[in-house]
Amino acid sequence: MPHTTALLGFALVCLGLVLTPGPNMIYLISRSITQGPAAGIVSLGGVALGFVFYMLCAAFGITALLLAIPFAYDALRFAGAGYMLWLAWQAVKPGGRSPFEVKKLAIDSPRKLFAMGLVTNLLNPKIAMLYLALLPQFIDPAAGSMLTQSVVLGAIQIAISVSVNAIIALAAGSIALFLASRPSWMLVQRWLMGTVLAGLAVRMAVEAKKV
């Protein structure tokens, strides 16, 4: 099992990423505003299945990679740090757009909603980078099976992402209305999230791997 500090650190990273606008969030909010919260939740089911797919692929693939290539950890660590810095810039750059400023979507059946949620997540580069570059830095070979640690960390990510996205999907309409009338709150949210992500990226880049 991963150490408690690793679990808490990974949970913080996952929370920061799920609160950062990306394809999943934009799609779920758009769907909820257009077709109602229930449609957003059905779409979230497909997103959740995509998380499980990535988790299983990463758990087996990362375990083999870290055992086979000594410097793989550092390469993934720096790649993850760079990507988080890029996300931080996307949050604070001039002209950045809120995910709650969305376009209307066509009304779709539950089956199509689920499928679109799955495809959106499978094609989401942020999730791929999370599992391929961020998750390995929280795995400690001395703490036991790397496969078990990967699955535990992946389960934490799925639980956090699904919970937060479910809340956002259910409250998307109210949040969009609130932010539309208070643009300064949008700016504060963007800078707060950008600062958190940048701090995590720096920590990730300078922290040595535990042995």
User: What are the sequence ranges of the domains in the chain?
Assistant: 4-206
CB distance 103 to 33 below 8 Å: no
How many CA atoms does the CB half-sphere of 109 hold within 13 Å?
A: 2
By residue count, the chain amounts to: 211
In terms of pLDDT, which residue wins out, 208 or 164? 164
Q: Which residues contact 13 (CB under 8 A, 6 or more apart)?
A: 130, 134, 200
Phi, psi of 108 (to 5 degrees): -120, 160
pTM over 0.75: no
Phi, psi of 14 (to 5 degrees): -60, -40
Mean pLDDT is lowest, of 3-12, 70-79, 81-90, 197-206, for 70-79
Q: Which two tokens stand for residue 78?
A: 């720096």
- Give me the chain's average pLDDT, please: 78
SS3 (DSSP) at 145 = coil
Task: Kindly list the distances between the CA atom of residue 206 and the CA atoms of 21, 84, 86, 119, 209, in Å, as whole numbers in the listed order.
Answer: 26, 14, 17, 35, 10
pLDDT of residue 157: 92
> Residue holding tokens 């375990």?
63
Mean pLDDT is lowest, of 49-63, 129-143, 183-197, for 183-197
pLDDT of residue 158: 93
Q: Which pLDDT band holds residue 122 (cuts at 50, 70, 90)?
A: confident
Residue 82 CB-density burial (10 A; 0-12 exposed, 13-18 middle, 19+ buried): middle
**Most confident of the following: 64-73, 140-149, 197-206:** 140-149
In terms of pLDDT, which residue wins out, 55 or 191? 55
Average the pLDDT over 79-94 and give the result.
73
Measured on CA atoms in the order 14, 15, 17, 22, is the torsion positive or negative?
positive
126: alpha, beta or left? (left if phi > 0; alpha if psi -120 to 50): alpha
Q: Which pLDDT band holds residue 210 (cuts at 50, 70, 90)?
A: very low
pLDDT of residue 31: 86
Percent share of the chain, pLDDT over 90: 17
